[in-house]
């Protein structure tokens, strides 16, 4: 390495960083799924049999909302069960608080906090479900899942702080097409996801997590007025207070029971208003109480533990449901099941990218013909999604004939194992259903045949839904291979090949103490002592390395400082799960929401220790070079800068490259592991962010060294000029 000039060394380092960045980008886009979606909105064609060519009926574009609504009723054969919908979202409420766990009722404190809701469940006036949420368990992707029935990608957690308009097919878009008037009160995430859809709105920011009172009062203050109005069809209420209580004090916070009582009073107020409106012939209203995710014991969320994915789905107002499922072990659904269920209850098409299944109990009041029709519509929608995912499925004669009833007894025309499986499963259900329809006039069918048809439909729906859910996690092997190869190459390029001697001089005390003061403002108070100990550790380590007469390998010294920083990362309360990220501190000192500023503060809090030790490299250079006057060593600026920027910059980059490459290979090998999304993927995101931290730290050190050298060189030249002039 001593034979390398400064220019060559710089070019090699830059090339290695670029190769690593490209490789990391390829791997991330290859490993973390970007969910493929069907564009556009479902229309009248969703109530008709799928076709081979996938031609959609576009005539609904010229229809008025009322005409489109009547057309939906005509071709679906099912009248809407309700006229209005109240969607109440209680952010962060675990279903366990309302329904209990493992067949056991909720704790006594929580049951007594929600007497009205518990009475509705006990009297069969409501039915509740543990709605399993998919990770990441943060608000934005969970709201998308509930209104579209689609599972977002794991990286949606990164976009939760920069929510943009939701363009995929969803329930709100379908309601808007048939002329519904919508009102939204609460979390302003809805306003960013669905701009321009609400005729009245009052959004509150979800990022002021210290506020547990005003965020909910801003919603409830409008409730009495809205319930007395008859000009809306959809009322969305998103309460944030309970989630904020969890962030502050955890599940067992003293504020939790009072907050649950407050939510119970809201449920009571809405339900009484629904009954009053029904008595006054103002239409049938369905109240759906849901939560976007649960919370850990500490009140955090984002991962895939049971506590975080245990969300609530409570249907109040369904007719014909008299049994108590509140303590049943079978009342577990997927969160995406909410979307298709609400769609058919209100007579609109199921969103195109839905992978959810109908909730059977929601249709107990329907006739057998209507229930089978609902299962048929759900099957058609999933089959269209399968057609988009499996190019071989709609090809050949059988795929078309399966829907027309021709050659329905043969399955040899199915292409490939997956295609054949889905064709055969659907054909079994459709054949029995067609036979049921042919006997409808004579009414010669039996309850046994109805059970057989529903069993066949459920078999196809469950298989298709599970496959589509797993399809979102498929990984392109070519991108993964290129990414791993590029990172290995970048790691090899960054290794120093020989021992070097450095002449270093910069001043770094300001960086260290300024960073520590910033952390004292942002970190939790409990982290003050660990932060002080980290500072003492830095000073002790650098002084030990600089003691006269001590001879250390400078590679080992720089690597030791790097690893001390990474160790301090966990000493400040961080872990390898997303739930431990300190969200509250990211909004200290910010009066209005700023995605950029809050994201930067969150990064600064999370990587406080690694960045502190990287900044200490500047001080390390200063102390190590006290006995070696930097400008007296050489007059060759290239050699001087090469020595000064050698180990302090290349060692952190090299060590991080090895770690990044290792974790990439591990993640690739464990891509089919049971804990790939709950353990390995969150860890890899932390490694990804640590790479950004190393790049930032090395950039600061290099910029400081270069600036210091330029200043000192100018001063030296000016001094020499003045001396010569004299």
Kindly state whether residue 246 falls inside one of the protein's structural domains.
Answer: yes
Q: Tell me the pairing of strands 285-290 and 126-132.
A: unpaired
Kindly state whether residue 705 falls inside one of the protein's structural domains.
Answer: yes
Q: Mean of the pLDDT values across residues 648-658?
A: 82
Domain of residue 706, residue span: 499-649+678-725
Q: Positive or negative, the Cα torsion across 13, 17, 22, 27?
A: positive
Report how many domains make up the chain.
2
Say whether pLDDT at 395 is over 50: no
Q: Positive or negative, the Cα torsion across 305, 309, 312, 318?
A: negative
With a CB cutoff of 8 Å and minimum separation 6, the contacts of 315 are: 126, 127, 128, 286, 287, 288, 359, 362
Reported as a single tens digit per residue, the pLDDT across 64-90 is 999 999 999 999 888 899 999 999 999
Residue where one domain finishes, among candidates 365, 400, 429? 365
Residue pointed to by tokens 């090809």: 395
Kindly state whether residue 208 falls inside one of the protein's structural domains.
Answer: yes
The verdict on 151 and 299 lying in the same domain is yes
Distance of CA 606 to the CA centre of its chain: 18
Say whether pLDDT at 631 is over 60: no
Q: Could you tell me the two tokens for 83?
A: 């006229």
Residue pointed to by tokens 């919603």: 219
Q: Could you tell me the two tokens for 494?
A: 């960054």
Q: Tell me the pairing of strands 84-90 and 126-132.
A: unpaired
**What's the CA gap between 301 and 296, in Å, rounded?**
6
Residue where one domain finishes, among candidates 313, 344, 365? 365
Kindly state whether residue 139 falls inside one of the protein's structural domains.
Answer: yes
Question: Rounded mean pLDDT of the chain?
Answer: 79
Residue where one domain finishes, among candidates 344, 365, 386? 365
**What's the CA gap between 97 and 91, in Å, rounded?**
13
Q: 3-state class of 155 per DSSP?
A: coil
pLDDT given at position 7 = 67
- How is 261-328 classified by DSSP, letter by letter? HHHHHHHHHHHHHHHHHHHTT---EEEEEE-S----TTS--SS-SHHHHEEEEEEES-TT--S--TT-
Which of 286-295, 391-400, 549-558, 559-568 has the largest mean confidence?
Answer: 286-295
pLDDT given at position 498 = 29
With a CB cutoff of 8 Å and minimum separation 6, the contacts of 75 are: 44, 47, 48
pLDDT given at position 505 = 37
Kindly state whether residue 476 falls inside one of the protein's structural domains.
Answer: no
Kindly state whether residue 93 falls inside one of the protein's structural domains.
Answer: yes
Nearest of 659, 656, 647 to residue 701 by alpha carbon: 647
The DSSP code for 526 is G
Kindly state whether residue 350 falls inside one of the protein's structural domains.
Answer: yes
**What's the CA gap between 89 and 96, in Å, rounded?**
16
pTM recorded for the entire structure: 0.70
- How is 15-28 classified by DSSP, letter by letter? HHHHHHHHHHHHHH
Reported as a single tens digit per residue, the pLDDT across 565-598 is 888 888 888 888 777 777 777 777 776 767 788 8
> Is the CB of residue 357 less than 8 Å from the CB of residue 334?
yes
With a CB cutoff of 8 Å and minimum separation 6, the contacts of 185 are: 201, 202, 218, 219, 222, 223, 226, 235, 236, 237, 238
Q: Mean of the pLDDT values across residues 17-30?
A: 71
pLDDT given at position 492 = 44
Residue 178: give its domain's CATH number. Answer: 3.40.720.10
pLDDT given at position 629 = 46
pLDDT given at position 490 = 53
Kindly state whether residue 692 falls inside one of the protein's structural domains.
Answer: yes
The verdict on 559 and 708 lying in the same domain is yes
**What's the CA gap between 144 and 353, in Å, rounded?**
11
319-343 b/e with 16+ CB inside 10 Å = b? Answer: eebeeebbbeeebebbbbbbbbbbb
**What's the CA gap between 21 and 487, in Å, rounded?**
8
Say whether pLDDT at 649 is over 50: yes
């Amino acid at each position: 390495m001593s034979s390398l000039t400064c220019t060559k060394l710089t070019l090699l380092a830059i090339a290695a960083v670029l190769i690593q960045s490209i490789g990391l980008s390829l791997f991330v886009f290859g490993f973390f799924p970007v969910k493929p979606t069907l564009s556009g909105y479902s229309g009248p064609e969703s109530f008709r049999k799928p076709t081979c060519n996938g031609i959609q009926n576009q005539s609904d574009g010229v229809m008025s909302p009322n005409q489109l609504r009547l057309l939906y009723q005509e071709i679906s054969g099912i009248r809407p069960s309700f006229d209005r919908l109240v969607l109440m979202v209680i952010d962060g409420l675990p279903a366990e608080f309302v329904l209990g766990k493992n067949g056991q009722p909720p704790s006594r404190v929580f049951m007594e906090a929600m007497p009205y809701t518990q009475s509705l469940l006990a009297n069969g006036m409501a039915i509740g479900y543990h709605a399993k949420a998919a990770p990441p368990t943060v608000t934005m992707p969970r709201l998308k899942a509930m209104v579209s029935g689609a599972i977002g990608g794991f990286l949606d957690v990164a976009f939760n702080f920069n929510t943009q308009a939701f363009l995929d097919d969803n329930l709100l878009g379908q309601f808007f097409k048939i002329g519904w008037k919508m009102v939204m009160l609460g979390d302003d995430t809805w306003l960013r996801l669905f701009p321009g859809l609400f005729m009245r709105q009052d959004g509150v920011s979800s990022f002021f997590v210290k506020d547990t009172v005003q965020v909910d009062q801003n919603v409830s203050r409008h409730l009495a007025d809205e319930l007395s109005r008859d000009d809306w069809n959809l009322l969305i209420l998103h309460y944030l207070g309970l989630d904020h209580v969890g962030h502050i004090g955890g599940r067992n916070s003293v504020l939790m029971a009072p907050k649950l009582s407050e939510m119970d009073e809201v449920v009571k107020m809405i339900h009484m208003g629904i009954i009053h409106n029904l008595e006054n012939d103002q239409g049938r209203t369905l109240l759906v109480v849901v939560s976007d995710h649960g919370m850990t014991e500490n009140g955090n969320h984002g991962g895939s533990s049971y506590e975080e994915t245990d969300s609530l789905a409570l249907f109040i107002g369904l007719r014909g449901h008299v049994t108590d499922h509140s303590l049943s072990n079978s009342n577990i659904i997927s969160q995406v099941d909410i979307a298709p269920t609400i769609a058919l209850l209100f007579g609109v098409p199921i969103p195109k990218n839905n992978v959810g299944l109908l909730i059977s109990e929601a249709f107990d009041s329907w006739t057998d013909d209507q229930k089978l029709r609902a299962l048929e519509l759900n099957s058609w929608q999933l089959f269209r999604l399968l057609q988009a995912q499996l190019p071989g499925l709609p090809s050949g004669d059988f795929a078309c004939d399966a829907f027309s009833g021709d050659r329905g007894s043969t399955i040899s025309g199915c292409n490939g194992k997956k295609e054949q499986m889905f064709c055969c499963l659907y054909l079994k259900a459709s054949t029995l259903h067609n036979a049921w329809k042919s006997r409808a006039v004579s009414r010669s069918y039996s309850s046994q045949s109805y059970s057989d048809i529903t069993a066949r439909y459920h078999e196809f729906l469950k298989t298709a839904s599970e496959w589509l859910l797993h399809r979102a996690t498929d990984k392109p092997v070519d991108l993964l291979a290129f990414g791993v190869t590029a990172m290995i190459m970048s790691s090899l390029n960054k290794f120093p090949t020989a021992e070097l001697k450095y002449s270093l001089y910069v001043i770094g005390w300001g960086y260290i103490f300024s960073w520590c003061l910033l952390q004292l403002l942002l970190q939790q108070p409990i982290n003050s002592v660990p932060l002080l100990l980290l500072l003492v550790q830095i000073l002790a380590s650098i002084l030990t390395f600089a003691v006269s007469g001590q001879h250390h390998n400078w590679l080992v010294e720089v690597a030791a400082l790097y690893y001390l920083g990474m160790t301090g990362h966990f000493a400040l309360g961080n872990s390898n799960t997303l739930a431990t990220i300190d969200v509250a501190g990211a909004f200290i000192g910010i009066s209005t929401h700023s995605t950029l500023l809050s994201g930067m503060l969150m990064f600064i809090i999370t990587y406080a220790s690694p960045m502190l030790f990287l900044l200490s490299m500047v001080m390390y250079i200063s102390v190590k070079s006290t006995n070696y006057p930097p400008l007296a060593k050489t007059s060759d600026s290239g050699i001087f800068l090469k020595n000064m920027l050698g180990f302090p910059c290349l060692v952190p980059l090299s060590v991080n490259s090895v770690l990044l490459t290792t974790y990439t290979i591990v993640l690739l090998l464990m891509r089919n592991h049971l804990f790939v999304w709950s353990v390995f993927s969150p860890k890899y995101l932390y490694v990804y962010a640590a790479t950004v931290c190393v790049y930032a730290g090395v950039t600061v050190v290099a910029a400081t060294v270069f600036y210091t050298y330029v200043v000192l060189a100018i001063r030296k030249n000016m001094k020499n000029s003045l001396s010569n002039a004299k």
